[in-house]
Amino acid sequence: MNRHCALVLHAHVPWVRHPETPRCLEEDWLFEAILEAYLPLLEVLHRLRDEEVPWKLTLNLSPTLLSMLRDPLMQERATAYLDRTAKLANGEVERGVDAGYRRIAQWYGQRLHHLQRLFEDEWDRDLVGAFKDLQDSGHLEITACGATHGLLPLLMKVPEAARAQIEAGVALYESCFGKKPRGFWLPECAFAPAVSKLLKNAGIQWTLVEEHGLTSAPHAPDEFPFVPGETADELAVFARDTESSRQVWSAESGYPGDPRYREFFRDVGLEAPAEALEEYLEGSDIRRFTGLKFHRVTGSTDEKLLYDPPLANRAADEHAIHFVSSRAAQLAALSSRGIEHPIVVSAFDAELFGHWWFEGPQFLEKVLRNTADRTDFEFTTPGAYLETGGAAQLRPVEPVSSSWGEGGYFETWLSEENAWIYPHLHKRADQLSRVVKVLKENIDSIPESNAEYRIRCVNQMARELMLAQSSDWAFLMRNGAARPYAKKRTEDHFEQFDRVWAIFSNSNESDQLTEIEESNPIFPDISWETFEPVI
């Protein structure tokens, strides 16, 4: 088959782990994603495979997300979150003022019980293993990503910082999936020309940029963005398709805005009386989303009708048919232009499907089922496309700097609200690079116990710096109610870095170092040479 579509989902939650706080509001970001997006997605994909429906999908699981999904504390807290939500749903059955409301509450209770069974019994809390199983069977292509989702172009002032993000992300991928990654998801789809060589040096074969990253390149051929380019470093570069993305993601015309779908912002946690939430909130007076939403979009006013699951299911079926027929027409038009082996890459945040758009997983299932028997185009992955004739379509290109953020470049992460972080990031990256150089030159002359301590210091400074580099903090400083948390997290990682820097030469401070290591137990196998100067 010579017409192709690739669905690419990017799953990411920043590293948020607060053992000192039993009910940390920001930890709910992970638990909401598990309950509403990852468990439903896994159920859909495993069902399709078990029914022998042919399908292929590309998924990125960010290293911070992988680390939290594998963390026993976060697994335990995810279980507690599911339990609390199920109890709240049961309470809403009793509180319901009419039969329609009680019916939806009962539906939620049954759904939550089913998802609890999947999490605890079917996959034994090991969602990483459940995704790995789908890759091992040849259905899923899982890609690597920057270690903490750092925006690589804005870290390139100290190239070691960008390289460390890539190499640490690749290393964690290998520890999770037992193989080297072929593809790499650029955090925020942010590309700059210097990133290409770093990716290729890390063994990466392909990556994905925003559409204008290819189409605005010098001497861009007419086939872009529907065939991949190849950089001078022999890195294949695919482009995200604007048309298919808008059909799903557009706030004005995208599928999720259909009046039959569930309304995201009408949540029990924001609307129920305080006494109904007392047990759920465990004494806190901070309202929060619960995932229990009883209304549908309905229209643009505050007047919302009750949610109707069968009605929403029909909408998802209709939109899946429309999406598939749109891709068939789009690819037929590309073939009529003489483009051989065109590929349409439709890329989205994975959390859109289930969290933001509750019916999204059903939509994906219907899309994959509806293409299983088609003869005019097929779903593939970028890696499979390159292996099955697509490599012959590669066109020489030097992609331009770009991202999928507002404006298409980097202003979301480099603005009046967040620009202050970069001098601090660059200064500490330079410090770390210099100390690694000196340590490597003198490691053989340092007593073994002292050398081991210093390597631990370097590793922890690398962890703290990379955690401060997360693009999420810069984004939230510019947008969102979590601005104070994002600012504090960044400042805390700077402070921890500086604490370790101060005790680097004093091995008597091993207890203090252990305390800092235990506060952020991420990347346990990080290599102290990660920040070795780039030649």
| Structure confidence by residue, pLDDT tens digits, 324-337 | 999 999 999 999 99
Tens of pLDDT, residues 351-373: 999 999 999 999 999 999 999 99
414 belongs to a structural domain: no
- Per DSSP, 468 falls in state H
Question: Quick one: how many helices (H) and strands (E) in the chain?
Answer: 21, 10
Tens of pLDDT, residues 35-58: 999 999 999 999 999 999 999 999
413 belongs to a structural domain: no
Judge if 431 and 383 occupy the same domain.
no
Query: Is residue 510 exposed (0-12), middle (13-18) or buried (19+ Cβ within 10 Å)?
Result: middle
Judge if 50 and 133 occupy the same domain.
yes
Q: Supply the range of the domain harboring residue 513.
A: 421-531
Tens of pLDDT, residues 494-529: 999 999 999 998 888 899 999 999 999 999 999 999
Judge if 383 and 426 occupy the same domain.
no
Q: Indicate the pLDDT class of residue 402, thresholds 50, 70 and 90.
A: very high
* Residue 448: pLDDT over 90: no
Please tell me the distance from the alpha carbon of residue 417 to that of residue 414, in angstroms, as a whole number: 8
* Residue 433: pLDDT over 90: yes
pLDDT for position 535: 64
Q: Which of 408, 431, 459 is the last residue of a domain?
A: 408
CB atoms within 10 A of CB 507: 17
Q: Which of 408, 441, 465 is the last residue of a domain?
A: 408
503 belongs to a structural domain: yes
Please tell me the distance from the alpha carbon of residue 135 to that of residue 127, in angstroms, as a whole number: 13
Element (H, E) at 347: strand 343-349
The CATH number covering residue 305 comes to 3.20.110.10
Q: List the structure tokens of 89.
A: 């749903």
pLDDT for position 507: 80
Query: Is residue 30 exposed (0-12), middle (13-18) or buried (19+ Cβ within 10 Å)?
Result: buried
Judge if 56 and 104 occupy the same domain.
yes
The bridge status of strand 229-230 relative to strand 395-396 is: parallel
> Phi, psi (5° rounding) for residue 313?
-60, -40
472-478: average pLDDT = 97
Using alpha carbons, select from 169, 146, 142, 211 the residue that is nearest to residue 403. 211
Please tell me the distance from the alpha carbon of residue 312 to that of residue 258, in angstroms, as a whole number: 9
Q: State the average pLDDT for the chain.
A: 96
* Residue 63: pLDDT over 70: yes
Judge if 252 and 380 occupy the same domain.
yes
97-113: average pLDDT = 95
% of the chain exceeding 70 in pLDDT: 100
DSSP codes, 471-495: HHHHHHHHSSTTHHHHHHHHHHHHH
Judge if 431 and 404 occupy the same domain.
no
SS (HEC) of 150-173 = ECHHHHCCCHHHHHHHHHHHHHHH
3 belongs to a structural domain: no
**Alpha helices by DSSP H, 71-158:** 72-95, 99-117, 127-136, 152-155
pLDDT for position 151: 99
Tens of pLDDT, residues 131-148: 999 999 999 999 999 999
Judge if 401 and 464 occupy the same domain.
no
* Residue 453: pLDDT over 80: yes
259-287: average pLDDT = 93
Query: Is residue 21 exposed (0-12), middle (13-18) or buried (19+ Cβ within 10 Å)?
Result: exposed
Using alpha carbons, select from 216, 233, 235 the residue that is nearest to residue 224. 216
Tens of pLDDT, residues 174-207: 999 999 999 999 999 999 999 999 999 999 999 9
494 belongs to a structural domain: yes
Tens of pLDDT, residues 3-35: 999 999 999 999 999 999 989 999 999 999 999
Q: Which of 386, 408, 430 is the last residue of a domain?
A: 408
Judge if 160 and 189 occupy the same domain.
yes
* Residue 157: pLDDT over 90: yes
Judge if 52 and 147 occupy the same domain.
yes
Tens of pLDDT, residues 209-235: 999 999 999 999 999 999 999 999 999
The CATH number covering residue 437 comes to 1.20.1430.10
* Residue 474: pLDDT over 80: yes
Q: Write down the pTM of the prediction.
A: 0.97
Side-chain-facing half-sphere of 392: CA atoms under 13 Å: 6
Please tell me the distance from the alpha carbon of residue 496 to that of residue 504, in angstroms, as a whole number: 12
Please tell me the distance from the alpha carbon of residue 421 to that of residue 154, in angstroms, as a whole number: 11
Tens of pLDDT, residues 371-392: 999 999 999 999 999 999 899 9
1 belongs to a structural domain: no
> Phi, psi (5° rounding) for residue 190?
-90, 120
pLDDT for position 282: 87
468-483: average pLDDT = 95
Say if residues 229 and 399 touch (Cβ distance below 8 Å).
Answer: yes
Hunting for tokens 């605890």 — which residue is that?
A: 120
496 belongs to a structural domain: yes
Side-chain-facing half-sphere of 178: CA atoms under 13 Å: 7
Burial pattern 460-474, b for ≥16 Cβ within 10 A else e, equals bbbbbbbbbbbbbbb
107 belongs to a structural domain: yes
SS (HEC) of 186-236 = CHHHCECCCHHHHHHHCCCCEEEEEHHHHHCCCCCCCCCCCCCEECCCCCE
The bridge status of strand 229-230 relative to strand 236-240 is: antiparallel
- Per DSSP, 352 falls in state G
pLDDT for position 49: 98
Angle between helices 421-442 and 448-468 (to 10 degrees): 160
Judge if the upstream peptide bond of residue 14 is cis by omega within 30 degrees of 0.
no
pLDDT for position 310: 98
Q: Angle CA(215)–CA(217)–CA(220) in degrees, nearest 5? A: 65
Judge if 390 and 456 occupy the same domain.
no
| Structural domains in the chain (count) | 2
Judge if 400 and 458 occupy the same domain.
no
Judge if 526 and 402 occupy the same domain.
no
